[in-house]
Amino acid sequence: MRIFRIALLSVLLFATLLSAGAQEMATVDKPAPLFTLPDSRGKTHSLSEFKGKYIVLEWVNFDCPFVRKHYRSGNMPALQLAYREKGVVWLSICSSAPGKQGYFERKELTDRITQEHSASTAYLIDKDGAVGKMYGAKATPHMFVINPEGVLLYAGAIDDIASTKIDDLKRATNYVRECLDAALAGREAKVKTSNAYGCSVKYMD
């Protein structure tokens, strides 16, 4: 009987820990997991400091061809600037581990941000990948939209054409734009989740 009780308690404890861990994962229509990360200038940002505003999280790797398409065409910087002017906070997050594609040391990173004409609110560094894994970020770009109450509204691809061709941008449906426009107009987005495409996030082994 004593062994049975111990086994039962172990199972219950495991289930409780599993449940607690699941609650920390990003899920659409649920509160977005909170985090704190340093930016490219050494300043620390917490997601909670932007409560009351719409927030876009953009997983980035400047050396990924899919990301390059959106930056070299001007598509991503234009989106960043357009929605920042509407009061949206745009956070680019790099979860590439040191030594892997997409990770840059301070001076090189500053130069690349300028070269790519990034207009995000901040470029955040998640070198141990903890935040990326918390959000289930699988690709670059992988996009998330959070409302002023801290609820995740959208998670997935930036658009519906998984391509590195700049010409495809003209006919693509941009899910992030659609979600933000709907939310700012007081409507629910038609698409709330999609499969992110791009390069795999270069997490630490």
Tell me whether the omega of the peptide bond preceding residue 141 falls within 30 degrees of 0, making it cis. Answer: yes
What's the confidence (pLDDT) of residue 23? Answer: 41
Kindly give the parts of the chain with pLDDT less than 70: 1-23
Q: Are 56 and 143 in contact (CB under 8 A)?
A: yes
Q: Strands across the sheet with 55-59, in order?
A: 122-125, 89-94, 55-59, 142-146, 152-156
What's the confidence (pLDDT) of residue 5? Answer: 45
- C-alpha distances in angstroms, 125 versus 40, 128, 140, 187, 203? 7, 9, 14, 33, 12
What's the confidence (pLDDT) of residue 205? Answer: 79
To which H or E segment does residue 55 belong?
strand 55-59
Beta bridge partners of 58: 92, 143
Q: So where are the chain's domains?
A: 26-200
CATH of domain 26-200: 3.40.30.10
Q: Are 55 and 35 in contact (CB under 8 A)?
A: no
Query: What is the pTM assigned to this prediction?
Result: 0.88
